[in-house]
Amino acid sequence: MNTFKAKQLPMKSKTLIFLLTSLLLFSCQEKQSVKKENNKTPQFQNKGQELVMKMIEKVGTYQTLRSKKDVIYTYSYQTPDGKTDISNEKYIFDGELSYGKYDKHQRTLSNFEGTIEQGYDGKEFWLKNNGEIILDSSALKRVAFNRPTNFYWFTMFQKLMDKGVSYEYLGEETLNQTIYEIVKVSFDFENSKPTDIYQLYINKNTHLVDQFLFTVADFGAMETPNLMVLEYEEVDGILIPTKRKYKKSTWQATVSDAPWVKVNWTNIKFNNGLTPADFEK
């Protein structure tokens, strides 16, 4: 009587099948892992941080901004007494390199006549007047304030998710028939130097910051804030607060009838092909 016997696969074939099966199982597990990771709910410190994140997603994240590589724009600043600064600003986002050429500077280093240039090359702050290098220490201190300050104002919303930023949700408030969710933002950079405080008024409907209170720690103005009011413009997929005005306020966002300081950003252009050499002294 003949008994049927199954053919035995060669050892090499068994090994190949085992490897293919293992790879298939690993691939499936990997896809499931990625899917779970993508579906994970982001973890926030509190509601304040969550509201700030939603706002940043609306205006454009820092990753989106960095993808633009660099920016050139015209910066104008006018005080109530009519004194005006007009500068051509250039930044590279990677490394926070900064340059400003002031053709008009009635409030910034007004003791210099003619064109002034300020720069930060990633290591050093520098200043030129009519093409000549200025080494005056008090003037360079002003440059060391202006360069990072101008850069920060342009990237402020995106940088509110930086390490060391804390958020406190202060609740809702209705102003001029608009409901705002208020978030206090403070900073801890592990040094003894006092840092600014921001109080954001996030429009509950649009998720944009219509206005915010801010202090200026570098000038010791911590008790009385300023109120900054914003208007936005979309540039290359990013919502930028190109029109700004501010003046002294209370912590309840109550301002006087005093005139505003006005700040405008115009002619904004990203991806200009700037290199570190453009920021050298």
Domains in the chain: ranges and CATH: 47-279 (2.50.20.10)
Q: Are 98 and 280 in contact (CB under 8 A)?
A: no
In terms of Cβ atoms closer than 10 Å to its own Cβ (0-12, 13-18, 19+), residue 30 is exposed
Q: Specify the residue for token string 């208020």.
A: 182
Helical residues (DSSP H) of the chain, grouped into ranges: 11-39, 47-59, 62-66, 137-159
Q: Are 225 and 196 in contact (CB under 8 A)?
A: no
Q: Look up the pTM and report it.
A: 0.81
CA distance 78 to 262: 5
What tens digit of pLDDT does each residue of 213-269 get?
A: 999 765 455 568 999 999 999 999 999 999 999 999 999 999 989 999 999 999 999
3-class DSSP state of 7:
coil
pLDDT at 190 > cutoff 70: no
3-class DSSP state of 124:
coil
Phi, psi of 4 (to 5 degrees): -75, 130
Higher-confidence residue of 17 and 3: namely 17
Q: What is the pLDDT of residue 256?
A: 86
Q: What is the pLDDT of residue 36?
A: 46
pLDDT at 27 > cutoff 80: no
Paired tokens of 217: 């720690």
Q: What is the pLDDT of residue 24?
A: 57
Task: State the amino acid at position 125 in one-letter form.
Answer: F
Task: State the amino acid at position 146 in one-letter form.
Answer: N
Q: Are 104 and 120 in contact (CB under 8 A)?
A: no
3-class DSSP state of 52:
helix
Q: What is the pLDDT of residue 189?
A: 67
Helical residues (DSSP H) of 132-250, grouped into ranges: 137-159
Residue 22: pLDDT band with limits 50, 70, 90: low
Q: What is the pLDDT of residue 4?
A: 42
What tens digit of pLDDT does each residue of 141-189 get?
A: 999 999 999 999 999 999 999 888 999 999 999 998 999 999 999 987 6
CA distance 187 to 250: 21
Percent of the chain with pLDDT over 70: 80
CA distance 257 to 50: 35
Other Cβ atoms less than 10 A from the Cβ of 42: the count is 7
What stretch of H or E contains 36?
Answer: helix 11-39
**Pairing of the two strands 70-78 and 97-105:** unpaired
CA distance 187 to 196: 7
CA distance 217 to 177: 32
